[in-house]
Amino acid sequence: MNRSRWEVFTRRQPALFALVLLVLAVAINLIVQPHMFARETLNSNMRVFLPLILLAVGQAIVILAGGIDISVGGIASIVNTVLATRVGLEGSPAEMWRYVFISLIIGLLAGAINGFFIAFLRLQPIITTYATSFLYAGLALFILPNPGGGIPGNIAAFYRNSTPLHLPLAFYVIAVVLLIWSYLRSTRYGNFLYAVGGRAQAAYETAVPVTWVQFGTYLISGLMAAFAGLAITMLSGSGNADIGAPMTLNSITAVVIGGNALSGGVGGVAGPVMGAITLGVIQNIISFANIDTWWETLVRAVIIVVALAAPGIVNLFRRRQP
């Protein structure tokens, strides 16, 4: 019954799979786009990936505690429409800061609504956040019925061009997020997260404040969704109520690719971050591989399904080993 050292290692480090996938994707990308690591290209790529990375981090935390948040896309959309309409193309930096602050509050509020229904009323996360996703998406559409509006050009340019110390701005953001996460993980709350995700009932019986832990994860997810909305607004420079919609499934995919178990209790944040980057790289590959436009949607969807299936397939093989 001697488990090979390799097997023990891979079981302890679920993010390893994500790393392998990422390296593979980057390698393929280098083939189709040789100048991928050139400073300008890298910066351009990373800032496109950043919204999804932020979303994936929030999603990862919710999923860790055993839940899921389908409304993140909607929250990001609301933030986008709010910024686009309130700040507008002529806004001043002061206004921008004010509405950024308000956006974060909105994210927390939306998360609180989710958390209330799920943690306190004990509704199922999937259907609840599905319902609120419609609520939020509808609100975004209400605020901005037609794509338009925007944010001041110089602010968008700042996001686009800043490369402190020759590294993309996105790198710093990711680094900060990862730092915050490793701090969080070392606290009691971090431990609680894993306890609740693993066996909520058992956690309850050991005096873990399950309700508040779960509520907190939705607050975090809402906040991260607001950040993602901010990032995507700065990326596109304009407003569009549907902007967040495709990001929701991608955030879940990123978490699954990242090695986290959808049922909770396993994994971290580094994996999903890599997963999000991998998804972005795959998107890049598809654009550069000159695939027929008609096939593009299908190819992308199939890749996502394969990526989702991959951990399951890996598990199948693992179980077959004597």
Partner 1 sequence: MAVVLFLLSGLLPNGFGSDLDVARAQVLNILRLAVFLGVIAAGQTLVIISGSEGIDLSAGSVVTLTAILTYILVNGANEKVLLALLVVLAAGALIGFINGVGITFLKISPFVMTLGMAGVVTGAIIVITHGSVTGKVAPIMTRLIARPLSPSLPIPNAVLIWILFGILIWLLLERTTFGRNLFAIGVNRITAKLSGVNVTRMNLLTYSLAGALAGFGGFLLVGNTGVVHLQLGQPFLFPSIAAVAVGGTLLSGGKGSYWGTMAGAIVLTLITSLLTTMQMPDSVRRMVLGGTLLILISIYGRQRALRQ
DSSP state of 187: S
In angstroms, what CA-CA distances link 155 with 4, 41, 95? 53, 20, 12
How far apart are alpha carbons 279 and 25 in whole angstroms?
9
Query: Counting contacts by CB under 8 A, is residue 294 touching partner 1?
Result: yes
Minimum separation from the CB atom of position 142 to partner 1 (A):
4
Size of the site for partner 1 (CB under 8 A): 52
CB of 76 to partner 1, least distance (A): 16
List binders of partner 1 among 144-173 (CB under 8 A): 145
In order, the DSSP letters of 237-273 are -EE-TTTTHHHHHHHHHHHHHTT--TTSSS--SHHHH
Q: How far is the CB of 97 from partner 1 (least distance, A)?
A: 28
Q: Least distance (Å) from partner 1 to the CB of residue 171? A: 29
Q: Which of 2, 164, 290, 312 binds partner 1 (CB under 8 A)?
A: 312
Contact indicator for 18, 275 with CB cutoff of 8 Å: yes
For position 318 contacting partner 1 by CB under 8 A, the verdict is no
Using the rule CB under 8 A, give the single segment among 24-32, 50-58, 166-174, 299-307 that binds partner 1: 299-307
- Which DSSP category does 279 fall into? H
C-alpha distance from residue 149 to each of 112, 135, 145, 152 (Å): 28, 22, 11, 10
Closest approach of partner 1 to the CB of residue 9, in Å: 22
Instruction: Give the per-residue contact string, 88-127, with partner 1 (x = CB under 8 A; - = no).
Output: -----------------------------x---xxxx-xx
Kindly tell me the burial class for residue 214, based on how many C-beta atoms sit within 10 Å of its own C-beta (0-12, 13-18, 19 or more): buried
* Contact predicate 235/16, CB 8 Å: no
Of 15 and 68, nearer to partner 1 (C-beta) is 68
182 touches partner 1 (CB under 8 A): no
> Taking CB under 8 A as the rule, which mask of x and - marks residues 47-76 in contact with partner 1?
---------------------x--------
Binders of partner 1 among 246-265, rule CB under 8 A? 249, 252-253, 256, 262-263
- SS (HEC) of 14-71: CHHHHHHHHHHHHHHHHHHCCCCCCHHHHHHHHHHHHHHHHHHHHHHHHHHCCCCCCC
The verdict on 130 binding partner 1 (CB under 8 A) reads yes
Tokens of 295: 């096939």
| By the rule CB under 8 A, 274 interacts with partner 1 | no
Tokens 């996703």 belong to which residue? 133
From the list 3-11, 29-37, 215-223, 305-313, the region that binds partner 1 by CB under 8 A is 305-313
The verdict on 305 binding partner 1 (CB under 8 A) reads yes
Nearest-angstrom CA–CA distance, 228 and 238: 14
The two three-digit tokens of residue 93, written as one number: 């930096």
In the bound complex, what is the minimum distance in angstroms from residue 52's beta carbon to partner 1?
16
Kindly identify the residues of this chain, within the stretch 192-221, that bind partner 1 according to CB under 8 A. 200-201, 204, 210-211
Residues that bind partner 1 (CB under 8 A): 68, 117, 121-124, 126-128, 130-142, 145, 200-201, 204, 210-211, 241, 249, 252-253, 256, 262-263, 294-302, 304-305, 308-309, 312-313, 315-316
